[in-house]
Amino acid sequence: MAKVTLKKKKKVSKKEEKKSAEVKEESAEVVYDDDEEDEGSNEEEESEEEEEDEDERRRMKLLEAISSLGGQRKRRTLGERSEAAVHVTEFGVTAEGEGDKVQLKDLIGTVEKTPTVPSKTKRQLRTLQGGDKTIECPLSKQEHERIQRGVAFQKAASEVDQWKSIIQQNQRAEQLVFPLNREPSGPKPMERVVSGWKARTPLEEEIFAVLNANKQPILDPVLTPAEEASISAMSLEEAKIRRAELQKVRALQSYYEAKARRERKIKSKKYHRVQNKAKRKEFVKRFDDMVKTDPSGALEELEKMERARMQERMSLKHQNSGKWARSKAVMAKYDEGARRAMQQQLEVNKELTQKLVTAPNDEDEEEEEEQGGDAELLPDFVNDAERGADSSNPWMRGKLSEEKEAEEESERVDLTAEEEVKETEEEEVKETEEEGLLKEFERRRKQRQEQEVKMIPVEEEEEEEKESERVDLTAEDEEKEGEEEEEEGEEAGGEEEELSEFKNLYREITESERAEEKEEDPSPLLEESLARIRSLEDTEELLAQEEAAVAPPPPQTPAAEENSAPAVKKVEKPKKRKRGIELRDVLTKDTRAVHVPLTQTVEDGEEEEDEEADQRGLIKEAFAGDDVVSDFLRDKRNQEDAGKPKVVDLTLPGWGEWGGSGLAPSKKKRRRFRIKTAPPPPRKDQRLPSVIISEQRNSAIAPHQVSMLPFPFQTQAQFEGTIRTPLGRTWNTERTVKKVVMPKVVTTLGAIIEPMAKEELIKEKQQQQTTMTMAASQSAVEKQKKSEKKNSKTAKKKRR
Amino acid sequence: MKVKVLSRNPDDYVRETKLDIQRVPRNYDPALHPFEVSREYTRALNATKLDRVFAKPFLASLDGHRDGVNCMAKHTKSLSTLLSGACDGEVKVWDLTKHECVRTLQAHEGFVRGIVVRYCGTSFFTVGDDKTIKQWKMEAPGYGEEEEPLNTVLGKTVFTGLDHHQNQAVFATCGQQVDIWDEQRSSPIRSFTWGVDSFSSVRFNPVETELLASCASDRSIVLYDMRESAPLKKVIMKMRSNTVCWNPMEAYYFTCSNEDYNLYTYDMRYLDRPLTVHMDHVSAVLDVDYSPTGREFVSASFDKTIRIFPKNAGHSREVYHTKRMQHVICTKWSADNKYILSGSDEMNIRLWKANASEKLGVLGPREREARNYNQKLREKFQHHPQIKRIARHRHLPKNIFHQSKELRIMKEARRRKESNVRKHSKPGAVPVVSEKEKHVLTVVK
């Protein structure tokens, strides 16, 4: 409390001091008013007003006295006082006592109350009162310039940024040809070439004056400016319209194509039949209409039909003589559908070739009879393939004539044999190329059945195959394990082929049963010799093995010996056999293996003095001494052995036990100190029988090899890939070489390369736009296609 | 007995006309052409060797100036014309095909500081130490006529550089400030200053033709837009740039030659660090000029060599020097991308091939194909050490060689010291500054 009182006292004393100071100031000069007066002092002022008034009066008197004394000093006039205020300044208005500043509110307070002022202005004034923010002072010059620069830079940068796409495109381009905007080669219009030329003689001038007056082109291919202008004006819009039209047409075409494709793909015959029927109906209806409305058109239509009929009669169409028909004829026996198709064809034929009643002719009649007969016959033929006597099918005819007696029998047998061969045949039917073979196959089968030679069923055949494989394995065992594995792999892959190739093999074996072994077939001998050359190099060990392989003989050999006598019969065969052999080549191993036991006969073959065999013999003789393959194998084995880890024995005699002469380190110790190193990674040539790959670092090559992956490549494989692909024309076609070798930058000799022009930017933009529109239209088309697909799918479902 | 006879049908191998290509039957069976990699490697090696054998870039020396060549200008419309200005104020016009001077004129008193040909090729401008800009006709004056400039403008200060707009009658000079002039007026239509007292070079952007760049003596490169009243931006580097050159195919790239032996390629949009630092010179780089294809540039240096850099490679692909060539002041790349011209202190202008081993003149189709194939082979096997070794080998004068070695050692020492400091100070206290960032002080907006 004491402190507070103290403070109060101090305040009071301060006030007193201030007062005295004020008094002094005021006594010095009246005119200037102090703005710094505290609000707190106002209250006291009021109480002391009277005192001040007195002072004022006194002071005025004093001043008057002084002025009267000097007379010189001019006194400033005070503004007229019109309102109640404590102080009056030289400006005439003071807000002293009421607040600091004069507010707008104070000035227009009366306006609110006066009814004559419209409400609109009042509202405006009210809003004016709200915004009493001060305007900030302007920026410094440096600041201002910096902002200006920033804006300008942004503008320039964005302008320059437009080039980005072009620059990137050029950086990525495979080839750049400079100068960029080359003028099209070829002759230029004369006018442009001689632009600098001027008419000099009076005659020339006259002519030019005339020409210029009419604005005629000087040379004929050049258009007048007016024409050019019109063309250029027209072209844009027209081009746009045309493009739109073209796009539409293209889209429509694609829809139509898609639809047609879809419809064509529908497999349902019923659907197509219905479709055809509908079409026919439509046509009939139209025709009827035409008869009524447009008789001439109907006549034309009739004529057309007539012409079609005539053409049909002339041609062999619908007579079941085409390729398709023949293939169907084969199928007809087993396939209901094929039969029906043929029937239909014939019906069409009949319909189209029906004789006109109007002009009966003898020849026509004959023809008709003939063809009618054919037509009647054919369905029968279709019903049973054996009897079909199609005149247009020579094959059928031939067959019938050959095997007339055997017909029925064979058919019977067929039925029994059918089941066995069915699967294979079904496959064959698909392969139109092998038709002929199939025929032959069938025929032979029948023959065989007639002769009542024992038939080898499929199972037995397969057994044979296996056997042959076994033989093969034994033969190759000594050779290389790796190869064997490979070939086995091949076999596994080839199993799919087996089915299609099966029939070849089958036929061949049936042949071989009867004929092959009677007389030595030249082509297998060839193969054999080839195989032998290989085996020759495989040294005599192999021969012994082969003999062993012969000992468990496949069924062929005894059969061959038995059938050696009746050899004459099959002399006419070699052609077909050759074909068979060619096909058999496809079968990789087993076929070869089948012939392994025949190696003994090689000598006989040579005795035949065959030219090629002689050659082989010569070669064999020449290289009799060098055993290349075994050398190679030995080399390889040595290399492999060298690479194998060696057992290191680190036992030291005497350590941990007694040592000396006659004392060997103990077994236990030796086991302990014998170190086996880990096996090295598998050799690269492990699976490659005829290759030795050395994995040692070759100091001769090392300096030529790249030690680190160079920059642009990500992986080692990538880099190796680029190195491995050759560029030269030894390995690539001319076109590829040109493409690969193309330089990155091409410049024209003696042409000035101008800097990139602004036109490029415009061009680029236009291109982008066009691509955008193209993409948009494409996507639209795709969408429509998709929707169509959906529709078709739903339609299919419904149909189901 | 079978008789085998050779039978050949001429239809298979005889051409119908002489213009047909010879039919060469080929069998592309890879089994017949084994060892493709090793064979191509050998070919590549041979191609590389031949490339080095045929690398004879120096074509001609044009002598006639009586003082050092200070500036050169390519003719905009004629490949065979070259203009050069010397330190004694003489300007010469050269015919490059004949290797001879066709015209000489005393253009200025003192140095000819800049020379440029108008875009139409009918006249050219020169600036000199006598504070004048002069416009001259390209054609030589007729017999009896006096050699007089078309136009002379007397400036207030010395001009140090000059460049012409790509397709307008506007040119720019630099001296104490950068001025943009209209050809028709005697006072600049615009002048830019930004608190610097002198500029050494100014160049118009050939693509975005309203933009300019200039090098100032306060180690800065300043960008301008002709249409604006104020400059755009500037970057201040550690040392002064001598000249600047825009890429003629890529609007926003420019390269500056610096006093610190390096060249810097900038993207004008991002000035805070150069795109590439091109090192190899062993003395201040005085001039730089882009090839018209915009893929390479040539630089002239005080170390008496000129070097060719791919635009985005840190090191040069080629260095040219001769015994007699002194400090190279200026260099130009010809407009057909085939030749390089260098003007040097010892009063000569030298003509070089841009591609050292290239055959001059028209190539036959087979020649061209072989060249392309060899080039591709070299490219394919360029990373193989033997080929790389041969392809990269260049002969250098002894002093340059030793100096570059010295520089390398210095650089390595600096690097080592820095890494040591880093090792022995608080982690993060010595930040790793990349080479690109090292040379830029600030970017002033």
Question: For chain B, what are the domain ranges?
Answer: 58-353
Nearest to B313 by CA among B302, B331, B335, B297: B297
- Give this prediction's pTM: 0.56
Is the per-residue pLDDT at A506 higher than 70?
no
Strand, helix or coil at A644?
Answer: coil
Interface contacts A/B by beta carbons within 8 Å:
153
Average pLDDT over residues B337-361: 95
Is the per-residue pLDDT at B59 higher than 70?
yes
Q: pLDDT tens-digit profile of A728-738?
A: 999 999 899 99
| Closest in A160, A703, A741 to B251, CB measured | A160
pLDDT given at position A127: 80
CA pair distance A385, A394, nearest whole angstrom? 14
pLDDT given at position A327: 82
- Band of residue A25 on the pLDDT scale cut at 50, 70, 90: very low
pLDDT given at position A403: 43
Say if A707 is an interface residue toward chain B (CB within 8 Å).
Answer: yes
Highest mean pLDDT among A80-84, A117-121, A522-526, A796-800: A117-121
Q: pLDDT tens-digit profile of A358-386?
A: 544 444 444 444 444 444 444 444 444 44
CATH annotation of B58-353 = 2.130.10.10
Is the per-residue pLDDT at A619 higher than 70?
yes
Average pLDDT over residues A684-711: 88
Q: pLDDT tens-digit profile of A525-557?
A: 334 444 344 444 443 443 344 444 444 444 443
Binary contact (A703, B386; C-beta < 8 A): yes
Average pLDDT over residues A166-175: 92
| Closest in B28, B208, B248 to A733, CB measured | B28
Is the per-residue pLDDT at A399 higher than 50?
no
Provide the residue count of chain A: 800
Is the per-residue pLDDT at A401 higher than 60?
no
Binary contact (A731, B33; C-beta < 8 A): yes
- Six token digits for residue A549: 């392989």
Q: pLDDT tens-digit profile of B102-155?
A: 999 999 999 999 999 999 999 999 999 999 999 999 999 988 888 899 999 999
Say if B232 is an interface residue toward chain A (CB within 8 Å).
Answer: yes
Q: How far is B386 from chain A (nearest CA, A)?
A: 6
User: Pairing between strand B123-128 and B132-137?
Assistant: antiparallel
Say if A453 is an interface residue toward chain B (CB within 8 Å).
Answer: no
Q: Is A750 exposed, middle or buried (0-12, 13-18, 19+ CB in 10 A)?
A: exposed
pLDDT given at position A383: 43
pLDDT given at position B353: 96
Average pLDDT over residues B191-195: 90
> With contacts defined as CB-CB under 8 Å, which chain A residues touch B24?
none
Nearest to B323 by CA among B403, B395, B407, B405: B395
- Band of residue A479 on the pLDDT scale cut at 50, 70, 90: very low
Is the per-residue pLDDT at A667 higher than 50?
yes
Average pLDDT over residues A58-65: 88
Average pLDDT over residues A472-492: 44
pLDDT given at position B166: 93
Binary contact (A754, B292; C-beta < 8 A): yes
Give percent of chain A above pLDDT 70. 51
Q: SS3 helix, strand, coil % of chain A, rounded to 5? A: 70, 0, 30
**Which of A331-340, B322-331, B375-384 is the least confident region?**
A331-340
Write down the ipTM of this complex: 0.92
Q: In what order do the strands lie in the sheet with B263-267?
A: B241-246, B253-258, B263-267, B276-278
**Which of A127-136, A288-297, A626-635, B341-350 is the least confident region?**
A127-136
- Six token digits for residue B399: 């002093």
pLDDT given at position A452: 47
- Band of residue A217 on the pLDDT scale cut at 50, 70, 90: low
**Beta pairing partners, B213:** B203, B223
User: Which comes out higher in pLDDT, residue A158 or A471?
Assistant: A158
**Mean of the per-residue pLDDT values of chain A:** 67
Give percent of chain B above pLDDT 70. 100
pLDDT given at position A77: 56
Q: Which of residues 171-210 of A touch B (CB under 8 A)?
A: 176, 178
Q: pLDDT tens-digit profile of A729-781?
A: 999 998 999 999 999 999 998 899 999 998 888 888 888 787 777 777 677 66
Q: Which residue of A has its CA nearest to B268?
A: A157
What is the maximum alpha-carbon separation in chain B? 109
Say if A733 is an interface residue toward chain B (CB within 8 Å).
Answer: yes
Q: In what order do the strands lie in the sheet with B58-63?
A: B58-63, B348-353, B339-344, B328-333
Strand, helix or coil at A745?
Answer: strand
Distance from chain centroid for Cα A119:
76
Binary contact (B40, A163; C-beta < 8 A): no
User: Which comes out higher in pLDDT, residue A315 or B183?
Assistant: B183
Highest mean pLDDT among A64-78, A412-426, B292-306: B292-306
Say if B119 is an interface residue toward chain A (CB within 8 Å).
Answer: no
Say if B28 is an interface residue toward chain A (CB within 8 Å).
Answer: yes
Say if A141 is an interface residue toward chain B (CB within 8 Å).
Answer: no
DSSP labels for B202-231? EEE-SSSTTEEEEEETTSEEEEEETTSSS-
Binary contact (A727, B40; C-beta < 8 A): yes
Our CA angle for A333, A337, A342, nearest 5°, is: 75
What HEC string does A507-565 produce?
A: HHHHHHHHHHCCCCCHHHHHHHHHHHHHHHHCHHHHHHHHHHHHCCCCCHHHHHHHCCC
pLDDT given at position A464: 47
- Band of residue A222 on the pLDDT scale cut at 50, 70, 90: low
> With contacts defined as CB-CB under 8 Å, which chain B residues touch A159?
208
pLDDT given at position B390: 92
**Phi, psi (rounded to 5 degrees) for A656:** 80, 0
Is the per-residue pLDDT at A13 higher than 60?
no
pLDDT given at position A209: 83
Is the per-residue pLDDT at A164 higher than 80?
yes
**Which of B21-25, B55-59, B61-65 is the least confident region?**
B21-25
Say if B375 is an interface residue toward chain A (CB within 8 Å).
Answer: yes
